[in-house]
Amino acid sequence: MLKRATELFPLWAVLGSAAAWAAPGPFAALQGAIAPLLGLVMFGMGATLAPRDFARVGRRPGLLALGLALQFGGMPAIGWAVARILGLPPELAAGVVLVGSCPGGTASNVICYLARADVALSITLTTASTVLAVVATPLLTDLWLGASIAVDVPGMIGSIFRIVLVPVALGVAANAWLGPRLEPVQRLFPLLSVAAIVLIIAIVVALSQARLAELSALLFAAVVLHNGLGLLLGWAATALLRLPEAQRRTLAIEVGMQNSGLGVALAVAHFGPLAALPGALFSVWHNLSGSLLAAFWSRRPAGPGP
């Protein structure tokens, strides 16, 4: 029951967006809840991790370096290029680049599991990129946007520290301290995370309702291109290096799926509600595209590469 409800995330996101579109007032009033809601998601992620998960980082330095290079090197550049090609307004362009500068998405580990990919590598990459994001996300956002829009790098570093690093650390500590006693709560965290992200999306839709209709087609094209090119980048780079199939799938998913919830929270705090729209739409789309990709790959064994 809980698993099925979690898997229906795209549906809940669409329904939440529709509710916010029809009655924006109550959702817009919850703007201050965005950061705490994302903190709850990050705590849930941390509560599924143990110190041994962090120890994996040192065991695969080459793969880890490749994944992080594609994540933080490729996705911001793709976001910037897509925004320029489509001629997005400055605030929307900032939101697209910001999503590209974020770490791997928290749902990528589940998608990798369903896709019969390398789950341990997925967890390692998500964990490492999340920790590095405290510095990497603000600096990359400034690098790609600094000439066109002001980026408060110290403020963004502080926001990520509070929204990501502290809740994740508290979750890891709770897992280490409580151990098996935390398991009943851990089973609820995926559904709680879905509920939190759906509410975040609804708040962003409510805050930007006046502009959303005129920008929807352009914004959708930007998000689909950004996500699709990210998935392709992860797959193509690992194929060129002749890595095994399971690792190709993992890198494709890790590069293409972003922590868009973080992008939304940072956009609202530092650029405004309009800049949060790409992250909100990305949250829905990348889970849908990732689920479809996982369904396709799940029917095919992940044999060794050529």
Which range has the worst mean pLDDT, 65-74, 79-88, 268-277, 290-299? Answer: 290-299
pLDDT band at 75 (very low <50, low <70, confident <90, very high): very high
As a whole number of angstroms, the distance between CA 122 and CA 107 comes to 10
List the Cα angle 141/280/121 in 5-degree steps.
70
Is residue 257 within 8 Å of residue 104, measured between CB atoms? yes
Q: What percent of the chain has pLDDT over 70?
A: 92
171 burial class (0-12, 13-18, 19+ CB within 10 angstroms)?
buried
What's the CA gap between 104 and 32, in Å, rounded?
A: 24
User: At a CB cut-off of 8 Å and minimum separation 6, what does 251 contact?
Assistant: 66, 67, 70, 234, 235, 237, 238, 243
CB-hemisphere CA count at 13 Å for 193?
Answer: 27
Give the pLDDT score at 46: 79
pLDDT in tens, 114-154: 788 887 788 788 888 888 898 999 999 999 987 667 777 88
Please report, as a single letter, which amino acid is at residue 22: A
Higher pLDDT, 25 or 201: 25
Nearest-angstrom CA–CA distance, 221 and 216: 9
Q: Which residue has the higher pLDDT, 215 or 306?
A: 215
- CATH label, 32-297, candidates 1.25.40.20, 1.20.1530.20, 1.20.200.10, 1.20.58.100: 1.20.1530.20
* The predicted structure's pLDDT at residue 231: 96
Say which range, 45-49, 66-70, 242-246, has the weakest mean pLDDT. Answer: 45-49
- Tell me the pLDDT of the chain averaged across its residues: 84
Lowest mean pLDDT segment, chosen from 1-10, 148-157, 283-292 = 1-10
Beta bridge partners of 104: 258
pLDDT tens for residues 210-223? 766 666 788 889 99
Select from 198, 83, 197 the least CA-distant residue to 141. Answer: 83
Highest-pLDDT range among 82-91, 124-133, 270-279: 82-91
- Which pTM does this prediction carry? 0.79
Who wins on pLDDT, 112 or 250?
A: 250
Does 208 have pLDDT greater than 80? no
Residue whose C-alpha is closest to residue 94's, from 20, 16, 9, 152? 152
The C-alpha atoms of residue 294 and residue 47 are separated, in whole angstroms, by 25
User: How far is residue 93's CA from residue 14's CA, in Å, rounded to a whole number?
Assistant: 23
Between these two residues, 72 and 109, which has the higher pLDDT value? 72
Selected residue with higher pLDDT from 271 and 75: 75
**Contact call for residues 201 and 18 (beta carbons, < 8 A):** no
